[in-house]
Structure 1
């Protein structure tokens, strides 16, 4: 393997339908990202906790992809580039029934203000 290929394991399933750390802490997220090496699902940089980026920095797993329905893109933190990647182990996104932001029952009424939107 060369380049980003060594950072992508297509057969590894995602860790679940939501951000691992937000689920543990009872927090919420705006959008979700998937680590292409270990399957860890983390919240995006526009979320309060930026767990996807924190995971990448803590582990050295440098490639993520979107975990949003109908979004197909990969991001390499090391080269700061977006690219097309291989098809990964299903599911390829959180359930369509899951709200954005989500999960619905934990999203505060003033979520846009909290995110500076």
Structure 2
């Protein structure tokens, strides 16, 4: 496990919302959620059709994400390509527990498994 670069994590940055803000903007859906540890942007994982968490890293250079799933607190450093450590981030620390996976409710196609990466 590596240590993140200085400035890669802002523990005070709140999450951008309860789901992937990029998917929400276009009516999309996600499998799992990741939260940028620098600015709080919530994006979808690489299994999701949009892969918005990785796209956020590529467009901003913010390398560290934390899982935004209930019961998970792991961090990933895109720049190092490995897990990393980090402090507790500002609440909430996950999507709502009643939000389905994949989600959000009402936008996931019946054949969703054929769309994952």
Please give the TM-score of this superposition, normalised by the length of structure 1: 0.94
Tell me how far apart the structure 1 counterparts of residues 7 and 18 of structure 2 sit (CA, whole Å). Answer: 25
Aligned to 1:93: 94
Q: C-alpha deviations, 1:26-67, integer Å up to 9, x for none?
A: 000000000000000000000001000000000010111100
Decide whether the 8 Å contact of 2:68 with 2:93 is kept in 1.
yes
Q: 1:104 to 1:78 in 2, by over 3 A?
A: same
1:1-117 equivalences under 5 Å are 3-115=4-116
- Write out the 4+ residue segments of structure 1 that deviate beyond 4 Å after TM superposition: none
Decide whether the 8 Å contact of 1:55 with 1:61 is kept in 2.
yes
Alignment: residue pair count = 115
Which runs of no fewer than 5 residues in structure 1 stay unpaired?
none
Which runs of no fewer than 5 residues in structure 2 stay unpaired?
none
Tell me how far apart the structure 2 counterparts of residues 31 and 81 of structure 1 sit (CA, whole Å). Answer: 18
How far the C-alpha of 1:115 sits from its partner, in A, is 1.6
Please give the TM-score of this superposition, normalised by the length of structure 2: 0.94
Point out which structure has higher relative CO (alpha carbons under 8 A, 6+ apart): 2
How far the C-alpha of 1:84 sits from its partner, in A, is 2.6
Decide whether the 8 Å contact of 1:73 with 1:82 is kept in 2.
yes
Q: C-alpha deviations, 1:71-116, integer Å up to 9, x for none?
A: 1100111111102310000000000010000001000000012226
Report the aligned-residue RMSD.
1.3
Q: 1:3 to 1:83 in 2, by over 3 A?
A: closer
